[in-house]
Every structure is written in structure tokens, then in C-alpha cells.
Structure 1
Amino acid sequence: MQKITTYLWFDHQAEEAATFYTSLFAGSRVVGIQPGPDGGAMMVTFELAGQRYLALNGGPAHTFNEAISLLVDCESQEEVDELWGRLTEGGEEGRCGWLKDRYGLSWQIIPRELPELLSHPDPEVAGKVAQAMMGMSKIDVRALRDAAKS
């Protein structure tokens, strides 16, 4: 069992969110559903790519904000595009690879190449990449590479 588990508070959509999230990532699954007093899901345990999460149907008292986000290390632009498209359905695009999904949870959909380009040994190159990124919603790897070469 992992020592630290992320605990997510939903109004009433914990099972729906867990099912949606597990459909996005290989190696993901709903592990268990604990019923509440009304017979519906109260607590949902699920894994995303091997990382365990707990989702609670806790009511509207607390909502998500950008103070916490889930960062996804994407291997390719295709993976960025796929996740961005699915997670923004019913949600909203942010800046610099950030978005909020339909449940209000913030995500960072980051291509693996972005941190590499941002930590380029030439500060001028890294600065051009950072400037290009600041103008983006969904991260565009080709545009970052072009900025690095300019």
C-alpha cells in the first residue's frame, strides 16, 4: 500500500469522476466503492496509472481550486492533445498547460520535453521557450522547439 494517498472531495460525483479519470490512463481502475447511508457511493477508491486516490461524495461544502493540481507527464504531443481534449470537455482551458476538468479539478498536461527545454543550459534559449509557453493554453511542442531555435 502506498504511504500517502490523494483524497479528493466531490459534491456528489465521486463515482462518475473516478470512472471518467480511469478511462483516460492505461493501468487505471476503480478499486472499490463504499456505499453511503442512501445506498449510493460515498467513497470511491481508484488508481490512475498505479497511483491510488480516494474520492468522497462530501457535499458542496468544499470545492477544488488551483492550489492543488494533478500534473501529467506526457510522452508526446498526441498524448497532450488527447488528454487536453478529453479533460476540457465540460471544463475550461487555463494557461501554460493548465486546465480545469468538468468537476473543477485542476490538471497540468505537460509534454516531457517542456522541462527539458525550460532548463536548457543557454539562459537565452530557456527564456525564449518560457516566453513562448506563457502565450499558450495547451502546450505545443513544435512551437516550443521553434522558439528554442529562434
Structure 2
Amino acid sequence: MANPITTCLWFDGKAKEAADFYCTVFKDSKITHDTPMVVTFELNGSKFMGLNGGPQFKFNEATSFMINCETQQEIDYYWEKLTADGGQESMCGWLKDKFGVSWQIVPSIIAELMSIPEKAERVMKEVMQMKKLDLDKIKNA
């Protein structure tokens, strides 16, 4: 059996606040352990540890979490929830939440569309013009 991989996120004293927030965004989620230094939680079956490590390190776009969405309604839901209360929109389906964690909110069909040679360039052109992705525009590119 393979060893499971747990993502560790370094926070400046806000690990529990972040875990609570993420557990409200993702429906199948729970906090599994909570101490002043560390909080462990699961989001849709993925394991995370929030570490209250201090101000030395900050999140950046070099690491992001991708949420594959089946519908525009899902894209809209995650976009609104994760940009709320100080989150920031970026381009091409990327955003930062209020803790500075980067997310990609993408339609699950995008990889398939990008693999069709005659469609890939048009799809990429559409995506490059958008902040929050519009599934219909991408499909019709």
C-alpha cells in the first residue's frame, strides 16, 4: 500500500481559521485534529495539515490547488466562495483566497478540449481573456 500524501500549508497563526473556512467551502470536509500549532483536516477526501509556522513564509502562485468542475454552477460556486472576504481574482481561472492560497477553478472538460488540435488554440485564446472561466464560451471556441 502506498503512503498517503498530506499537503502541509504554512500559516501565520491562522491555520484553524483557514481549516474552518475550507470546511465550509467543500461539502465533504472535516477537521480531524486541532492543537494550537497544528490542525489537520480533510477536503473531499484530500488530507491537509495547517501549521501555525509564523510570518517567515508566504504562499505564492508556484503552488496552486485545481478544482475540476463539471458545470458553470460549480465554477461560479467555488469562484464566489474562494474570492469572498478579501480573496483576489486573477486570470485564466486562477484566484487567491483570503489566506493567499492559489486555486485554479477549471472545467473538467478543458484537458479534453485542449487535446483536440483544431480546437486547442481557440480554447486557449478564450481562456487567456477570462478571469472566471465561462464553460459555454470555452466549449464553443
- Report the Cα distance in structure 2 between the residues aligned to 1:56 and 1:3, rounded to whole angstroms: 18
Contact 1:91 1:102 in 2 (8 A): yes
* 1:59 alignment counterpart: 54
Structure 1 runs of 4+ aligned residues shifted over 4 Å read none
Kindly tell me the number of residue pairs found equivalent between the two proteins.
Answer: 139
TM-score with structure 1 length normalisation?
A: 0.88
Q: Where do residues 23-42 of structure 1 align in structure 2 (5 Å cutoff)?
A: 23-34=24-35, 41-42=36-37
* 1:7 alignment counterpart: 8
- Report the Cα distance in structure 1 between the residues aligned to 2:46 and 2:63, rounded to whole angstroms: 16
Contact 1:88 1:99 in 2 (8 A): yes
Contact 1:2 1:52 in 2 (8 A): no
Amino acid at match of 1:77: Q
- Report the Cα distance in structure 1 between the residues aligned to 2:72 and 2:112, rounded to whole angstroms: 15
Q: Secondary structure at the match of 1:128?
A: helix
- Report the Cα distance in structure 2 between the residues aligned to 1:82 and 1:2, rounded to whole angstroms: 32
Would you say 1:95 and 2:91 are equivalent positions?
Answer: yes
Gaps of 5+ in 1: 35-40
- Report the Cα distance in structure 1 between the residues aligned to 2:80 and 2:115, rounded to whole angstroms: 27
Contact 1:5 1:54 in 2 (8 A): yes
- Report the Cα distance in structure 1 between the residues aligned to 2:70 and 2:138, rounded to whole angstroms: 15
TM-score with structure 2 length normalisation?
A: 0.94
Gaps of 5+ in 2: none
Work out the percentage of aligned pairs sharing the same amino acid: 48
- Report the Cα distance in structure 2 between the residues aligned to 1:85 and 1:26, rounded to whole angstroms: 15
Contact 1:44 1:55 in 2 (8 A): yes
Would you say 1:73 and 2:68 are equivalent positions?
Answer: yes
| Superposition deviation, residue 118 in structure 1 | 1.2
Would you say 1:47 and 2:42 are equivalent positions?
Answer: yes
Q: Secondary structure at the match of 1:103?
A: coil
- Report the Cα distance in structure 2 between the residues aligned to 1:21 and 1:75, rounded to whole angstroms: 20
Q: Secondary structure at the match of 2:140?
A: helix
| Superposition deviation, residue 24 in structure 1 | 1.2
| Superposition deviation, residue 26 in structure 1 | 2.3
| Superposition deviation, residue 2 in structure 1 | 5.1
